[in-house]
Amino acid sequence: MSKKPNNAEKVINENENKQGEFEKNLTIRTPTKGRRSSSIKGAAGAMDERQDSEFDQPLPGCFQKVSKITNDKIDENLAKIPYFHGFLLHEYQPMILKTFGDFLIRVSIRYPKKAGKTSREKTVNSNKGKKSKEKSKEQSNDGSIRFNVIIGVCIKDQDKDKVDHLDETKHEIIDVPMTIEQNIDGKWIHFYIDKKKKFGSIEELTDYYRHYTGFYRDKKFSLYKGIPMTSWELDRTHVEIGTKTLGEGAFGEVKSGTWKCTNSDSRETNTPLPVAIKMLKGEESKVAMKEMMHEARLQLCLRHKNVLKTYGVCILKTPFMIISEFCENGALREYLKKNKVDIEDKLRFCLGSARGVDYLHGKCLIHRDLAARNVLLNDAKVPKIADFGLARYGNSYKMSSVQKTPIRYLAPETLQSYKFTQKTDVYTFGLVMWEIFENGQEPYVKPQQHMESIVPKNGTIRVGHLKEVMKNDLWIKFNSETPPTLQTFIAEKVFVYDEKKRVTMIEVVALLKTLVRKDQSYLKDTMATQTVG
């Protein structure tokens, strides 16, 4: 007498039938124990005879794992996938993947490690030492940059120790590497996470793991929803690079250009918008890529009249780009050097810049690189704080290692302990105002007369001199053109050794507002007197 199946057996049978139906529409390549691999062919997903013959040949002779991904390969294989995010960094995935099963595909760059042996390697016994040397030699010989295609996926937090009993839906983001094999012609043929399950396309792979659970390093994942590019991940085909170079730095250059805007940032959809394009030289430096993405991420969160607006990044292919608003009048320092600027405009430049810094401080940001060169002027001469490469979130930041910093702009506490706070920004902004009233000259290049007891008359101020100048309260002085009220305010409340006695940017803005109103009132009275006369 046949046994009646229980409920559990029914579920198992249904799942097996479901998997059988699904695999009829998929092509999964399952290698055997020998050198040859067999194919499981479904009716809808059957491969042609040529592909079958390729699978019947030994893997090492036919196919090679993809380790270099060029722009052409991206165009050919990845760019049309709606959930492909180019060279997006791992740490930015949480901004995009929010729900269990959300996933994206990105390219990761693995840079060669520097060759060299540790002290431990030097003290191992001779046999192990030989193996260690051989291994080190092999690694050093492979000095090329390697590319990996990664599936970033949001999964349920599977660490029981971290799960909050009040929140059963905690998530984490994991990176699942996808292996790609190409034939001798360079055509991408196989895609897999588990080498026992090979697919003929990325779409087939993601579709399979949409229906069935995958495993990677003891983590379970499912690919339920591919998340498309966000509004700040821009289509490079909409960007036109101009011929004019606006600036140049260690990692790249800034060019003029246009961006064909297609989102809510522009009132006129598809209207080319003048932009500044900051381009990275290439994928040679992971540090450069991280710094660029760090800067872009900060600026994308900022929206203020006196802060440079960033529209987004182009990271689908190299070179990587940050697309920002174009400021026709360029850097404030150069504008001051080339043009005769009256007191009214100088006070306006001070007030606008101060408002921008005050806004940043309200967002818990420390700029760390305030200078007239990093303030830009648009066509209406509105000052905008720019260049966030050194900016950091938080109340304080301490440099852990020696970094290239503009010494002459550093606050006394930074010179002593390498510490940055919002109060160090206030000190540096005092120097920005000095630059404005000195028509773009840099501070502490040559000694002023009252500093000659510490610095030779025609000498150059160095770090040691600067520390002595500060300790003896011989701060840089403003010229006679500067309003006396502003001179006194900066001398007593900005250029002070004790950061606790230094004012905030809110107080700086308040004073500058008063001075601008007084200046405007004075101008009106003067014009009225001239008219009557």
| pLDDT for res 270 | 65
Question: And the tokens for 238?
Answer: 């909409």
| pLDDT for res 289 | 78
Give me the catalytic one of 358, 369, 387, 425: 369
CATH superfamily of 236-325: Phosphorylase Kinase; domain 1 (3.30.200.20)
Q: Which CATH class is domain 55-117+145-226?
A: alpha beta
Q: Which of 3-7, 269-273, 281-285, 463-467 has the highest mean pLDDT?
A: 463-467
C-alpha–C-alpha distance, residues 107 and 89, integer Å: 9
Q: Is residue 194's pLDDT more than 80?
A: yes
Residue 17 pLDDT level (bands cut at 50, 70, 90): low
Question: And the tokens for 308?
Answer: 């440079």
| pLDDT for res 365 | 97
C-alpha–C-alpha distance, residues 82 and 206, integer Å: 12
| pLDDT for res 28 | 53
| pLDDT for res 321 | 92
Residue 305 marked as a ligand binder: no
Please check whether the domain covering 332-520 is classified as CATH 1.10.510.10: yes
Tens digit of each residue's pLDDT (9 = 90 or more) over 369-404: 999 999 999 999 999 999 998 999 999 999 876 677
| pLDDT for res 352 | 98
Q: Is 207 a catalytic residue?
A: no
| pLDDT for res 81 | 96
Q: Do residues 482 and 468 lie in contact, with contact meaning Cβ atoms separated by under 8 Å?
A: no
The whole-chain average pLDDT of the chain stands at 81
Q: What is the mean predicted confidence (pLDDT) over 344-356?
A: 98
| pLDDT for res 264 | 52
| pLDDT for res 110 | 79
Q: Is residue 431's pLDDT more than 90?
A: yes
Q: Is residue 44's pLDDT more than 50?
A: no
CA distances from 155 to 161, 162, 215, 399, 474 (A): 16, 14, 11, 35, 59
Q: Which among 240, 353, 359, 349 has a CA at the least distance from the CA of 303? A: 359
Q: Is residue 501's pLDDT more than 80?
A: yes
Q: Is residue 14's pLDDT more than 60?
A: no
Q: Is residue 428's pLDDT more than 60?
A: yes
Residue 11 pLDDT level (bands cut at 50, 70, 90): very low
Share of the chain above pLDDT 70, in %: 73
Q: What is the mean predicted confidence (pLDDT) over 416-435?
A: 97
Tens digit of each residue's pLDDT (9 = 90 or more) over 353-376: 999 999 999 999 999 999 999 999
Q: Which long-range contacts (CB under 8 A, 24 or more apart) does 284-290 make?
A: 284/145, 285/251, 286/109, 286/111, 288/250, 288/251, 288/252, 289/87, 289/89, 289/109, 289/320, 290/89
Q: What is the mean predicted confidence (pLDDT) over 121-148?
A: 50
| pLDDT for res 120 | 41
Tell me which residue has tokens 């600027």. Answer: 341
Q: Is residue 272's pLDDT more than 60?
A: yes
Tens digit of each residue's pLDDT (9 = 90 or more) over 228-270: 999 999 999 999 999 999 988 667 789 999 998 875 544 445 6
Q: Is residue 137's pLDDT more than 60?
A: no
| pLDDT for res 294 | 84
C-alpha–C-alpha distance, residues 228 and 208, integer Å: 19
Q: Where are the domains of the chain?
A: 55-117+145-226, 236-325, 332-520
Share of the chain above pLDDT 90, in %: 55
Beta-carbon contacts of 396 under 8 Å, excluding residues fewer than 6 positions away, are 366, 419, 420, 421
Of residues 113 and 254, which shows the higher confidence score? 254
